[in-house]
Structure formats: structure tokens, C-alpha cells
Amino acid sequence: MTWFIFAGDMLVMAFMAALAVWVLWGGSSEAVDEAARIPLQDELDGMKDDPGDG
């Protein structure tokens, strides 16, 4: 059972790595930069909406 879980994890990791390589090689520099900004922009948007402690 442990080998089954390990093999599944390795397949998922290989898929994610292949997807990252595919996006980096296939996308334009501007598209990659825009995609990289998504988590930061979400964080900044969340701070704007948060009224704070008072």
C-alpha cells in the first residue's frame, strides 16, 4: 500500500513539473509574468478589502 501511494505521488509530481515546463516554454514572457503575479495580486486585493482591527 505504501508503494501505491508513493507511486501516485511521483506521478502527480511528474505531471505538475511537466505542466510547469510546458507553460514556461510555450508561453510568452508577458504571460508568464502575469501568471506569476496572480498570488501576490490576490494577497494585495485581500488586504484592500479587509477593514483591519479598527
pLDDT 10s digits, 11-34: 999 999 999 898 888 878 888 788
Q: Is residue 26 part of a domain?
A: yes
Q: Is residue 49 part of a domain?
A: no
Q: Is residue 27 part of a domain?
A: yes
Q: Is residue 54 part of a domain?
A: no
Nearest-10 Cα torsion for 6, 10, 12, 14 = 180
What are the start-end ranges of the E strands in the chain? none
For residue 54, pLDDT beyond 50: no
Q: Is residue 20 part of a domain?
A: yes
Q: Is residue 29 part of a domain?
A: yes
Q: In whole angstroms, what is the distance from residue 27 CA to residue 2 CA?
A: 37
Domain that holds residue 33: 14-38
pTM value surpassing 0.95: no
Domain count, the chain: 1
